[in-house]
Amino acid sequence: MRKILLSSVALASFLTASDLRDEALKSGLVALPNDAKALAKMIDDASPDAKAYPTTMARIELGKRLYFDPRLSKSGIISCNTCHNLGLGGADGIPASTGHKWTPNPHHINAPTVYNSVFNSVQFWDGRAAHLAAQAAGPMTAEPEMASTPELVVDRLKSIPTYVYEFKKAFDSEINFELVTTAIGIFERTLVTPSRFDKFLNGDENALNKNEKAGFKIFIDKGCVNCHNGVNLGGTLQPFEVASKYQFADVGDFKGDANGMVKAPTLRNIELTAPYFHNGAIWSLKEAIKTMGSVQLGIDISDKEADSIGIFLKSLTGDMPKIEYPMLPASTDKTSKPELDY
C-alpha cells in the first residue's frame, strides 16, 4: 500500500489543482453549490414536480413521518426506511431487498441509495420513474415489497386525526395517494450530502489531498467520467455491457429498460452503499472499479490504479443531514389492522 500511495503522490505532483479542476469541469462534472439558496434552486430544478408542489417545512416534516411510518405497508412493519435506511447510507446493505412475508426481490434488484437521488435524471434501475414522488409509489404498491394499495394507504392515514390535520396544513387538502407520495418525495429532496469533492470543484484546492487528486485524475483519464458525470456522478440511463459480459449477469433477471439501458448509480457516498451493481453481486469497491473497466470501457484497470481511484471515491462521502426519528401519531379504532399474511 505504501508504494501505491507514493506513486499516487508522484502522479499528483505533475498536476496543479486548478488544472485538475478545469479538466473535471470540462468533463461534465458539477459541484453542489456552497450557497444554500443556489443549492435550493438546483434541487428545485432537478425536481419535475417542484413548481406544482414547492418545498415547505410542513411538507418536509409530513414527508419524513410518512417515510418512517411502517403502516404504509400492508403488514405494518415495512417502511421506506427499511430498504433505504438513512443510517446505512440510504440503502439496506444487502444484495437484494426483502419485502412482504420475507419475500426476496423476485428480480434480485439491489436497493439504490436515496441520498442525493433528487439529482438522478430518472429513478429505478430501468429509469421507469421520472421523479421521486413517482418512485415512492412503486415499492409501496409492489406485492413483493410493501404490498399495499393506494386505497389501503389512504384509508389508514385518514383514520389518524394527526395525519388528516397535517395534510390539511401542508397541502390544504384531504389525504389522497398522490399527496402521500408527493410528501415523501419532498422530504427526499432534502437528503443531499455535500462533500470535500464539491469544495474542491468550487475552488478550494486543498479540499482533496494529493492521493485523492491523483485518483481523481486516473478516474477522468480512464473514462469513468463518461457515465459517472453531472452533479451526481451518475443517475442517468447508460448502455451496459458495452465492452464485455458482466460476470454476474445471470444473478437475477434484470436486463435494463426496453433498450437495455441501465441507470448509472451515483458515486456519492459509494463507500457506504455496498454491495454494488444492480444485483448487488460485488461487495468490494476495488473489484467494482476493475469490473467497470472491463465491462464498460474494455480496459484493464490495475490493482494500483483501482486502489488510487478508490481513494478518490471515498472523498465523495458527504456530510449527512441530521435526521431525527419522528414520533408517529397513534392509530385509532378505525385504523385497519396489519395484514401479515402468515
Q: How many CA atoms lie within 13 A of 304 on its CB side?
A: 10
Q: Are residues 167 and 72 in the same domain?
A: yes
Q: Which residue carries 384531504 as its cell?
A: 174
Contact 193/232 with Cβ under 8 angstroms? Answer: no
Q: Are residues 183 and 52 in the same domain?
A: yes
Q: How many of the other CB atoms lie within 10 Å of CB of 241?
A: 14
What is the tally of helices (H) and strands (E) in the chain? 13, 2
Q: Are residues 52 and 162 in the same domain?
A: yes
Q: Judge whether residue 25 has pLDDT over 80.
A: yes
Question: Is the alpha carbon torsion for 166, 169, 174, 179 positive or negative?
Answer: negative
- Scanning 264-302, the segments in alpha helix (DSSP H) are 285-292
Question: Is the alpha carbon torsion for 325, 326, 327, 333 positive or negative?
Answer: negative
Q: Is residue 331 part of a domain?
A: no
End residue of a domain, out of 189, 223, 252: 189
Q: Is residue 330 part of a domain?
A: no
Distance separating alpha carbons of residues 90 and 152, to the nearest angstrom: 26
Q: Is residue 321 part of a domain?
A: no
| Among 178, 194, 142, residue whose Cα is nearest residue 66 | 178
Q: Judge whether residue 10 has pLDDT over 90.
A: no
- Scanning the chain, the segments in alpha helix (DSSP H) are 2-13, 17-26, 36-45, 57-68, 80-83, 132-141, 150-158, 161-171, 177-189, 196-201, 210-221, 285-292, 303-313
* pTM of the complete model: 0.93
Would you please indicate which residues are annotated as catalytic (active-site) residues?
A: 145
End residue of a domain, out of 157, 189, 221: 189
Q: Are residues 177 and 91 in the same domain?
A: yes
Q: Are residues 201 and 299 in the same domain?
A: yes
| Among 143, 316, 150, 117, residue whose Cα is nearest residue 236 | 117
Q: Are residues 219 and 255 in the same domain?
A: yes
pLDDT tens-digit series, residues 125-136: 999 999 999 999
pLDDT tens-digit series, residues 171-196: 999 999 999 999 999 999 999 999 99
Q: Is residue 138 part of a domain?
A: yes
Range of the domain at 234: 2-37+193-316
pLDDT at 3: 45
CATH (domain of 66): 1.10.760.10
pLDDT at 6: 43
Q: Is residue 337 part of a domain?
A: no
Q: Are residues 93 and 149 in the same domain?
A: yes
Q: Are residues 180 and 228 in the same domain?
A: no
Mean pLDDT of the chain: 94
pLDDT tens-digit series, residues 93-114: 999 999 999 999 999 999 999 9
Residue 264 backbone dihedrals phi, psi, to 5 degrees: -70, 120
Q: Judge whether residue 9 has pLDDT over 90.
A: no
Q: What is the mean pLDDT of residues 327-335?
A: 97
Q: Identify the band that residue 342 occupies on the pLDDT scale cut at 50, 70 and 90.
A: confident
End residue of a domain, out of 154, 189, 224: 189
Q: Judge whether residue 7 has pLDDT over 50.
A: no
Contact 278/251 with Cβ under 8 angstroms? Answer: no
Q: Are residues 200 and 152 in the same domain?
A: no
Q: Identify the band that residue 71 occupies on the pLDDT scale cut at 50, 70 and 90.
A: very high
Q: Judge whether residue 160 has pLDDT over 50.
A: yes
Q: Judge whether residue 11 has pLDDT over 70.
A: no
pLDDT tens-digit series, residues 243-280: 999 999 999 999 999 999 999 999 999 999 999 999 99
Structural domains counted in the chain: 2
| Among 69, 156, 171, 141, residue whose Cα is nearest residue 334 | 156
Q: Are residues 259 and 297 in the same domain?
A: yes
Which amino acid would we find at residue 111? A
pLDDT at 193: 98
Q: Are residues 73 and 24 in the same domain?
A: no
Distance separating alpha carbons of residues 7 and 26, to the nearest angstrom: 26
